[in-house]
């Protein structure tokens, strides 16, 4: 693979929150976060998916499900996930798209 020094733009998008209806007197407790990590560079895009465990809540730091925001949940992901392997994977996918090893051409007739 060619050595390209590209700097894609990355966006973390939350897809889904897995919850427990009730735990330790708390309701709708988020236990797992499912996300996509999207990269774009020029006209090329790449997406990798992942998930992580949500922080364990206590009565002192619990945020009710209805009060969660995208920013809060996104920060949870960044707090527990090293995104550098996902960035590298996205970059490799984009480079592969930029330098295809095979190409399907239209029929010559």
The CA distance from 41 to 11, in Å, is 12
Tokens of 47: 């997406």
pLDDT > 90? residue 60: no
Counted domains in the chain: 1
Q: How buried is 74 (Cβ within 10 angstroms: 0-12 exposed, 13-18 middle, 19+ buried)?
A: middle
- Calpha distance 53→79 (Å, rounded): 11
Coil, helix or strand at residue 66? helix
The confidence band for 15, taking pLDDT boundaries of 50, 70 and 90, is: very high
Both tokens assigned to 59: 């009565």
pTM: 0.84
Inside any domain, residue 62: yes
On whether residue 103 sits in a domain, the answer given is no
| Average pLDDT of span 33-47 | 96
Residue 108 resides in a domain: no
Which tokens go with 23?
């735990």
């Amino acid at each position: 693979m060619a050595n390209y020094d590209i700097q894609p733009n990355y966006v973390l998008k939350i897809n889904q929150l897995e919850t427990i209806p009730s735990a330790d007197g708390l309701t709708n407790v988020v236990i797992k976060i499912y996300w996509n990590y999207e990269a774009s560079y020029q006209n090329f895009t790449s997406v990798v998916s992942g998930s992580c465990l949500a922080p364990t809540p206590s009565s002192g730091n619990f945020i009710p499900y209805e009060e969660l925001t995208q920013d809060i949940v996104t920060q949870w992901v960044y707090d527990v996930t090293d995104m550098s392997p996902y960035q590298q994977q996205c970059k490799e996918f984009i480079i592969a798209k930029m330098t295809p090893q095979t190409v399907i051409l239209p029929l010559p007739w």
